[in-house]
Chains A and B, each alone.
Chain A
Amino acid sequence: MSSLIMPKKSRRIIPGFHLSLGYTMLYVSLLVLLPLSMIFIHTMSLSWSAFIDIITEPRAVASYKISFSTALIAGLLNVIFGTVIAWVLVRYQFPFKRIIDGLVDLPFALPTAVAGIALTSLYAPNGWIGQFFDFKIAFTPLGIIIALTFIGLPFVVRTVQPVLQNISAEVEEASASLGANRLQTFRRVILPELLPAILTGFSLAFARALGEYGSVVFIAGNMPMKTEITPLIIMTKLEQYDYAGATAIAVVMLVTSFLLLLTINLIQWLANRRFVH
């Protein structure tokens, strides 16, 4: 109504525009933009060739490969198991369902260091689970994957669950009455609806896994070239007061996660265009 009568004034009816926007801008400028800009300002002190030398050091390059591959595998595991868990929680009945549903959020609530030491003691060679395997899990890339899978699990479950809940039974009934079997209905009707949510969940889990530190340092073993993740390289350089080196690696991480978010947004936009419209 008000927007029809006086479109310009409706914006001014509610007070506090300058106060709230000013406060918000000041807060993010001082606490987010200024600190983050320091990464780029500090890197300027390095010459281009020195910068390239630091970020292409064999130990750094090995860490990119480890961080990227373990985060990717953990993200894919979360897609598979996260979707199954969301499906089971929405569609099936079993005892203690509500408690189990609540437990899915544990990785959000449990401090990463606590998760790290718990998973390490479980999957160490003499641990409850580790002792049953002939090969080592903790202190190898497998251990990193386990920690990152733990951290990323709620992202996929919690993005897929509400979408699954909102798929109306009529759509599936229609599909069935047109002669589709259950698998066909899932592949052709349900999965396309879920795909954007699965992608969002994957991207959130993957982005979180790339930067994750607390849970990984305990289980990784942190052997250079083998199980050293990129955030740990930054940490090590900082402990040696090599601020320029730490900052250069941080630039690589920041640019990577930025490009990643951009790509994922693009994919999502394409997926939405294809499936929703």
Chain B
Amino acid sequence: MEQSTAIQQASNVKNKAATKSAALQEPRIIRYTLTFIALAFLAFFIVLPLVTIFITAFQKGVDVYFAAITHPDALAAIKLTLIVVVIAVPLNAIFGVMAAWSLTKFNFKGKNLLLTIVDLPFAVSPVIAGLVFILLFGSQGLFGDWLFANDIKIVFALPGIVLATIFVTLPFVARELIPLMQTQGTSEEEASISLGASGFKTFWYVTLPNIKWGLFYGLILCNARAIGEFGAVSVVSGHIRGMTNTMPLHIEILYNEYQFSAAFAVASLMSVMAIFTLVVKDIIAWKSKSS
């Protein structure tokens, strides 16, 4: 007991010495100035915009707020956004696992090229991401005549919105899993296989538990972007109210019609989702650190 308190005291002295040392710590005035600059910047760029959204949303009262978010066009936009997310996110999650498996468990020629291609959608402007699908499936596009002859609509309809969203969010899960699986190596899988487990069993019982938090993290980021994608979806949607308007496009229309309270009401729903994303992200980061 006495010994431990002695050690504690010694370490306290040491800590005090460290904090006092002018050579290891900035002068107090600089510490306070830097903290002030950082917090002021975050207040102006992050906190105030967030506060504005909620205040403007409720400016004209709770009735207007609920009228805005239960308007048939708003509900149609919410439904369309959910449909798009439910298709796009799982597809990109399966792709992310497949891509990470092939890129981290094996060596082959052209690996770096494939890595670059997987990253490519991040380097492309969302507007261009939409444009490419117009060029493929639009009336003047590569498959335009064929689609018209067979009466299939891709652009200015749900399939186009889903395709554009898949393109924009394609790298998220893969980007999260590749570095993680790289550091984990292949020895555990090799052991499982050589003990007689099947490939799928090995993936399910050995790999998946190791990567679950990374996978979840990638899913959350992919989901947030898929819900909020604006540029790419705006190009391929055609803005048909109640039909091909996702939530961000609905916000744009309301805003351009000067229905600010309604626009911010729908925006506040999306902000709640964004805050929820941040909270879940934090929990995942904490869980993965502790496990």
Chain A residues with CB under 8 Å of chain B are 2, 10-11, 13-17, 19-21, 23-25, 27-28, 31-36, 38-39, 41-42, 81, 84-85, 87-89, 92, 94, 98, 100, 102-115, 117-119, 121-122, 128-129, 146, 149-150, 153, 169, 172-173, 176-177, 180-182, 185, 207-208, 210-214, 218, 231-232, 234-235, 238, 241, 243, 246-247, 250, 253-254, 257-258, 261
Contacts and interface: CB of A to CB of B under 8 A. Distances in A.
B6 interface: no
B271 A114 contact: yes
Contacts of A122: 48-49, 52
Interface string B216-241: 00000100110111110011000000
B1 interface: no
A250 B131 contact: yes
28 contacts: A17-B105, A25-B114, A32-B117, A35-B129, A35-B133, A38-B141, A94-B39, A103-B47, A103-B278, A104-B46, A105-B281, A106-B278, A108-B221, A111-B228, A113-B230, A113-B251, A114-B53, A117-B251, A117-B267, A118-B50, A129-B48, A149-B45, A214-B230, A231-B128, A241-B140, A246-B131, A254-B128, A261-B123
A30 B54 CA distance: 41
Please indicate which of the listed interface residues B131, B140, B186 has the most CB atoms of chain A within 10 Å of its own CB: B131
A117 B255 contact: yes
B128 A234 contact: yes
B252 interface: yes
Given A92-B31, A92-B35, A234-B128, A108 B49 contact: no
Interface in B102-126: 102-103, 105-108, 114, 117-118, 120-126
B264 interface: yes
Nearest to B101: A20
Interface string B260-283: 100110010011011101110110
Given A27-B95, A107-B46, A182-B25, 5 more contacts: A87-B38, A100-B39, A149-B45, A213-B126, A214-B126
B145 interface: no
Nearest to B27: A182
A238 B235 contact: yes
A34 B163 CA distance: 13
